[in-house]
Chains A and B, each alone.
Chain A
């Protein structure tokens, strides 16, 4: 799918002085809010949308700084603000109850949403949570070396990745168990989405993410521990996913209803194993 076809599926709304681009499949009672990982966009889910929208109403926003949404280059748009933006987006669509799927840093935004709800600033009901690869990896890492390593890996990885399209392709493919699982065209679209509106400059704030995660992890872990929503883990278990220890840690820390570990799958289960991914979400 090329970038203009992809854009045609999006809607735009202005929230907190920022342009938010999102996919809303409109039909269905059960709403699923999908929070993509950092550096990526709603495009991650293009392979599974058509199938999943038969069962759920999908809300897949591009976070501020990514995809088609606006990309502030001169200030840091924090996790807290991303969370507030998502809550407002749901509010604007009159959505009162939602299931949330989050990947990577998206899980931190999910936790912030839960913490906003806990503090009584929102009446949103969260009915279910799916945690994808790299969720809470930093927050739950057992010691500072591990924590630092993950952040370093992410920061350095990103800086390397965005240096050129060839490098981008190489780095993204490294996150796949089977490097051919992502097509050349999909890579090109992802890259264009990253470049759009001076997007690379947003990555100047990459260090701030780490600081904010370390700063807030206490609050976030508290929030997710206190939620009543059933939690499921979906994790690609090939070592290309970067982290295969965290599912166990999440299980140790939270009450998890189901853990789906996908063999021979890297960081992007929705890309690499779309049919398994769909089955898990549909509860088959």
Chain B
């Protein structure tokens, strides 16, 4: 499937004056249960194109591209924060008039999902969240071209680099430098700003570091969100995914709760290589009936 074909399946929803690309496989009148997918960094809704036709037979599936990724807009004041991304999700679900759904969160999306869980615990949102599935669907080497960035991020000196970038995060920086005559010319400011926006990789580094920072800033908040919730949570892990194992150990180290189930992805299925098996694994935890019927259908085909 080409990117343009994929685009034709979706629609754009206006959120905070920017267009968000959304795939919605059914509408409000559908009798199917709803599942929303929060994808990870730096993937897009397109990653799910192999499983979407099947999953949508059983569910109304909603998946969107986060702002700054895929077909969604890159807002002027670009939201770097997971908090903002969580708010965008909530705003979208409100606009689509969703009442009750399960969440499938992938990679970094799991942090957004935990923030949403926290908001749910604090009674800030009224959605009925039926289940939360947390997984990491990509192999680590999948985005190997990002390795330079990963190396950069692990670099202790990056903090300084990041600070420089952060100062260019919006043109406010120039507006505020009132004493600096150099920036008086508005057109010039716009040009500098535009130039900066063209340097994609700068932004990428920035986004990732911000995510990393939020991970430790709000670690306790998100951990307690998991502890306090009554919603069934299923966490998938596989032995070749180190980052996840660390998270998992932290989960296990804290108190054990009945509603949290930790499931091993024994064969290390990943979405792009074994989509059918991956989907079966998810369906099995999501809905036994759907799982059996699909398994049967798949075996007979």
Contacts and interface: CB of A to CB of B under 8 A. Distances in A.
> Is chain B found bound to chain A in the same assembly?
yes
Interface of A: 16, 75-76, 78, 80-81, 84, 88, 119-122, 140, 142-144, 147-148, 208, 211-212, 214-216, 218-219, 221-222, 249, 252-253
Which 9 residue pairs of A and B lie closest in terms of their CB atoms, listed nearest first? A75-B220, A121-B124, A119-B87, A142-B176, A144-B163, A142-B177, A144-B167, A212-B217, A211-B213
A243 B74 CA distance: 35
Contact of B81 (A147, A215, A253): A215
13 contacts: A80-B218, A80-B221, A84-B122, A148-B163, A211-B213, A215-B217, A216-B81, A216-B83, A218-B81, A221-B172, A252-B175, A253-B172, A253-B176
A13 to B, nearest CB: 16
A252 B176 contact: yes
Contacts, number: 75
A146 to B, nearest CB: 10
B208 to A, nearest CB: 13
Contacts of A249: 176, 178
Nearest to A245: B179
A219 B214 CA distance: 14
A143 B167 CA distance: 7
Interface string B119-163: 100101100000000000000000000000000000000000001
Interface of B: 77, 79-81, 83-84, 87, 90-91, 94, 119, 122, 124-125, 163-164, 166-167, 169-170, 172-173, 175-180, 210, 213-214, 217-221
Given A142-B177, A214-B163, A219-B79, 14 more contacts: A16-B122, A75-B219, A76-B217, A142-B179, A143-B177, A144-B166, A211-B213, A212-B217, A215-B81, A218-B79, A218-B169, A218-B170, A249-B176, A249-B178
Nearest to A77: B220
A214 B176 CA distance: 16
Contacts of A219: 79, 81, 83-84
A39 to B, nearest CB: 19
Contacts of B91: 119-120
B221 A81 contact: yes
A218 B177 contact: no
Contacts of A88: 122
Contact of B80 (A212, A218, A222): A218
Which of B119, B175, B176, B214 is the most central at the interface, judged by chain A CB atoms within 10 Å of its CB? B176
B216 to A, nearest CB: 8
Contacts of A80: 83, 218, 221
A91 to B, nearest CB: 10
A86 to B, nearest CB: 13
A160 B95 CA distance: 51
B167 A78 contact: no
Nearest to A252: B178
Contacts of A16: 122
A81 B125 CA distance: 16
A196 to B, nearest CB: 22
Given A142-B177, A211-B217, A249-B176, A218 B167 contact: no
A222 B167 contact: no
Contact of B173 (A84, A119, A142, A216): A142
B217 A78 contact: yes
A81 B224 CA distance: 12
Contacts of A221: 172
Contacts of B84: 219
Contacts of A215: 80-81, 210, 213-214, 217
A208 B215 CA distance: 12
Nearest to A249: B176
A78 B177 CA distance: 30
A80 B119 CA distance: 11
A140 B176 contact: yes
Contacts of B213: 211, 215
Contacts of B90: 119
B223 to A, nearest CB: 9
Nearest to B178: A252
Contacts of B214: 215
A142 B171 CA distance: 11
A255 to B, nearest CB: 14
B125 to A, nearest CB: 7
B192 to A, nearest CB: 14
Given A144-B163, A218-B169, A76 B220 contact: yes
